Amino acid sequence: MRPISRRQALLLGGLGAAATAAGGAGLVWSLSSRPAPLIGSGLVQPEELHSESGLLQVRLEAAPGQLQLAGREVSALGYNGSIPGPTLRFRAGDTLKITLANSLSQPTNLHVHGLHVSPDNNGDNVFVTVTPGSSFDYEYRLPGNHPPGLYWYHPHHHGMVADQVFAGLFGAIIVEDPQGIETSAERVLVVSDTSVDQLGGIRAASAMDRMAGREGDLLLVNGQSNPEFSALPGQRERWRIVNACVARYLRLRLDGQYLQLLGQDSGRFEKPQDVDEVLLAPGNRADLLVTAAAGESVLRSFRYNRGTMAGMMGAGPAPGSAVEGTEGTVLATFRVAGEPAAPPPGIPRQQSPADLRQAPVAARRQIIRSAGMGMGGGGMMRFTINGREFDASRTDTTAAAGSVEEWTLINTSPMDHPFHLHVWPMQVIGDSGGSPEWRDVVNIHANGQVKVRVAFADFRGRSAYHCHILDHEDLGMMGVIEVL
Ligand code: C2O
Ligand code: CU
Ligand code: CU
């Protein structure tokens, strides 16, 4: 990483202004002149930091820089000079201390997405503002029964979340298994999308982009364009996949390989599920076992139709449907060749996930998300929850600590919206039986609804729920919950 010029820093600081800036000899290059995606570069793993004797202490510096992105240097934002930031690994019962240093020219803060930790004080408190040039010491204590799995971190300063994530601020978190699964390789695949402008910086989003939820021109894995990696036939690998895109849904396929899903978001299924395809809304994660079969397979993301605002006028295909007939976008190439490996041992049985279906319900609520034309005009839509835009000083929902609630998540708009609740994971309550499904981001189809149950266990305090199309969150589709 090279230090960047003040001018570039200014451009990055005002992402909104970058698109209108001109000139900049030596910096100018256009999308059409950029090199083709680098094929054949090996997959790079983000740096890994592990806890020791129950403690992981790290310093994360959020800073602009000339960072490696899609095989070249781009003026972007990163934690500790890389995109993604370091992977943080620790166990249930551990303490995580993060000093967040803000070297950006705008405020930021930190959120540990999916972790069941206190939202108070210097815990997972999204109401904290870390001003430019200052730092903040976060401390998170994981309960001893914290579910294992894949989580992630990203900024959460309201109004700037989408810009900062799109520019490169995100990283993975792994809560280790109490009992490991034998694999020949474990890979973290953080999928993100972004767009690079003519000055070699991150392209600013237009008002339309924000309303629709911006999707980048580049779809990257660990900041790389189509990295490749390999295995021997018969080897079993574990892939931990984060959807860190601001708004893009990933419909992932790896044809030719045997895939088993160990879990999604928080925790683990009792038994791995055989899958051909995994749909990850923004913010969702997949914990996947891949048993390698000889040949070359391409990890692709197929288009998912999440609806559009134009759907308001009744145009376009029905949202929620898979759009077929495209090749999909290449994410990575997996080559399997060589002497077959000995078959891997069986997968140890996982701890049964909790099940709230029989639990007494203390309160039932409706959380209604809508998007509609505002009173103020100007062509901006209002993105609301229960009719209101986010206000950090207002508490929208109060729940009692120790109680179980049932929420009906309703979407009255013509686009899908992924609903995310901080701190407390949600159990999706379907019509059918089946094993309990836990998520911290639940997609709600256009004009659809989903019932979830939440156990407000362990922690009190104020936190948030919001649409994980981060542009919508920034536009106000967020509410405040206080657990008392
Ligand atoms: Cu991943 Cu409130 O966010
Ligand atoms: Cu979150
Ligand atoms: Cu939304």
**pLDDT tens figures, 102-139:** 999 999 999 999 999 999 999 999 999 999 999 999 99
Please indicate, yes or no, if residue 356 is contained in any of the structural domains: no
The pLDDT tens digits of the residues spanning 44-89 come to: 999 999 999 999 999 999 999 999 999 999 999 999 999 999 999 9
At which of 146, 175, 204 does a domain end?
Answer: 175
User: What pLDDT, on a 0 to 100 scale, did the predictor assign at position 155?
Assistant: 98
Give ion ligand 3 contacts, CB < 5 A: 417, 467, 469, 472
Verify that 322 and 205 share a domain, yes or no. yes
CB of 156 closer than 6 angstroms to any ligand 1 atom: yes
Give the ligand 1 atom nearest the CA of 466. 2
What is the whole-number distance in angstroms between the Cα of residue 418 and the centre of ligand 3?
A: 6
Residue 201: strand pairing partners: 75
70 close to 224: Cβ distance less than 8 angstroms: yes
Distance 115 CA to ligand 2 centre (A): 8
| Distance from Cα 279 to the centre of ligand 3, integer Å | 17
- In this structure, are 15 and 157 located in the same domain? yes
The answer to whether residue 373 is domain-embedded is: yes
Relative to the alpha carbon of 112, which ligand is closest? 2
- Using pLDDT thresholds of 50, 70 and 90, give the confidence band for residue 310: low
Where does 20-170 show beta strands of DSSP type E? 48-50, 55-69, 72-79, 87-90, 95-102, 111-113, 135-141, 149-154
Cα separations in angstroms, 82 against 41, 45, 138, 168:
17, 11, 21, 8
Nearest-CA residue for atom 3 of ligand 1: 113
The region of weakest confidence among 23-37, 151-165, 273-287 is 23-37
Q: Which ligand is nearest to the CA of 370?
A: 3
Q: What is the pLDDT of residue 322?
A: 55
Whether 440 is covered by a domain: the verdict is yes
Q: 130 lies in which domain range?
A: 6-27+34-175
* pLDDT one-digit tens code per residue, 464-476: 999 999 999 999 9
Give the pair of three-digit tokens for residue 256. Answer: 């030719």
Residues 6+ apart with CB under 8 A from 460: 120, 401, 483, 484
Same domain as 212, residue 75: no
Tell whether ligand 1 has an atom less than 6 A from the beta carbon of residue 466: yes
Residues 86 and 189 in one domain: no
- In tens, the pLDDT along 300-309 reads 999 999 987 6
C-alpha of residue 203 to centroid of ligand 2, in Å: 25
Instruction: Tell me, yes or no, whether 311 and 250 share the same domain.
Output: yes
Residue 383 in any domain: the answer is yes
Distance 170 CA to ligand 2 centre (A): 12
Tell how far the Cα of 375 is from the centroid of ligand 3, in angstroms. 20
Is the per-residue pLDDT at 321 higher than 90?
no
Ligand 1 within 6 A of 113 CB? Answer: yes
Task: Note the ligand closest to the C-alpha atom of 307.
Answer: 3
In a 3-state reduction of DSSP, which class is residue 474? Answer: helix
Asked which of 124, 155, 175 is the last residue of a domain, the reply is 175
pLDDT one-digit tens code per residue, 225-242: 999 999 999 999 999 999
pLDDT at 463 over 90: yes
Instruction: Confirm if 285 and 420 have CB atoms less than 8 A apart.
Output: no
pLDDT digits (tens, 9 = 90+) for 156-202: 999 999 999 999 999 999 999 988 899 999 999 999 999 999 999 99
Strand 250-253 with 277-280, pairing: antiparallel
Query: Which pLDDT score is estimated for 12?
Result: 39
Q: Is the pLDDT of residue 451 over 60?
A: yes
| Surface-to-core class of residue 81, CB atoms within 10 Å of its CB (0-12 exposed, 13-18 middle, 19+ buried) | middle
Backbone angles phi, psi at 266, to 5 degrees: -85, 130
* Residues 140, 204 share a domain: no
316 pLDDT more than 70: no
> Does ligand 1 lie within 6 Å of residue 422's CB atom?
yes
Confidence (pLDDT) at 266 = 84
pLDDT at 245: 98
Q: Is residue 132 located within the same domain as residue 195?
A: no
Beta pairing class for 185-194 and 236-243: parallel
- Please tell me the distance between residue 150's alpha carbon and the centre of ligand 3 in angstroms: 23
* Chosen domain end from 175, 198, 225: 175
Q: Are residues 325 and 371 in the same domain?
A: no
Nearest CA to ligand 1 atom 1: 113
Those residues with Cβ within 8 angstroms of residue 33's Cβ, 6 or more apart along the chain or in another chain: none
> In the structure, what pLDDT confidence band is assigned to residue 379 with cuts at 50, 70 and 90?
low
Ligand nearest to the CA of 464: 1
Distance (Å, whole) CA 421 – CA 468: 9
Is 350 in contact with 260 (CB distance < 8 Å)?
no
462 lines ligand 1 (CB under 6 A): no
Calpha distance 141→55 (Å, rounded): 9
Output the CA 440–ligand 2 centroid distance in Å: 8
Cα 478 to ligand 3 centre (Å): 10
292 within some domain: yes
Q: Which atom of ligand 1 is least distant from the CA of 283?
A: 1
How many separate domains does the chain show? 3
Q: Report how far residue 106's alpha carbon sits from residue 14's, in angstroms, rounded to the nearest whole number.
A: 8
The span from the CA of 203 to the CA of 418, in Å, is 24
Residue 473 alpha carbon, nearest atom of ligand 1: 2
Domain identity same for 332 and 367: no
pLDDT score recorded for residue 314: 47
Looking at the structure, do residues 58 and 160 belong to the same domain, yes or no?
Answer: yes
Q: Is residue 53 part of a domain?
A: yes
Q: Answer whether residue 146 is part of any domain.
A: yes
pLDDT of residue 375: 53
For the Cβ of 111 lying below 6 angstroms from any atom of ligand 1, the answer is yes
Q: Report the atom number in ligand 1 closest to the C-alpha of 464.
A: 2
> Is any ligand 1 atom within 6 A of the Cβ of residue 210?
no
Residues 391 and 451 reside in one and the same domain: yes
Task: Quote the pTM value.
Answer: 0.90
Q: How far apart are CA 34 and CA 296, in angstroms?
A: 27
Alpha helices in 4-84 (DSSP H): 6-13, 15-18
Cβ 248 under 6 angstroms from ligand 1: no
Atom number in ligand 1 closest to CA 154: 1
pLDDT (0 to 100) of residue 21: 34
Which ligand is closest in space to the CA of residue 472? 3
Q: Tell me the residue ranges of DSSP E strands in 422-460.
A: 426-429, 437-439, 441-444, 449-455
Q: Is 358 inside any structural domain?
A: no
Residues 202 and 168 both lie in one domain: no
187 lines ligand 1 (CB under 6 A): no
CATH for 281: 2.60.40.420
Q: What pLDDT was estimated at residue 179?
A: 85
- Segment holding 371, helix H or strand E: strand 363-373
420 CB near ligand 1 (under 6 Å): yes
What separation in Å is there between the alpha carbon of 160 and the centre of ligand 1? 12
Q: How far is the CA of 467 from the centre of ligand 3 (A)?
A: 5
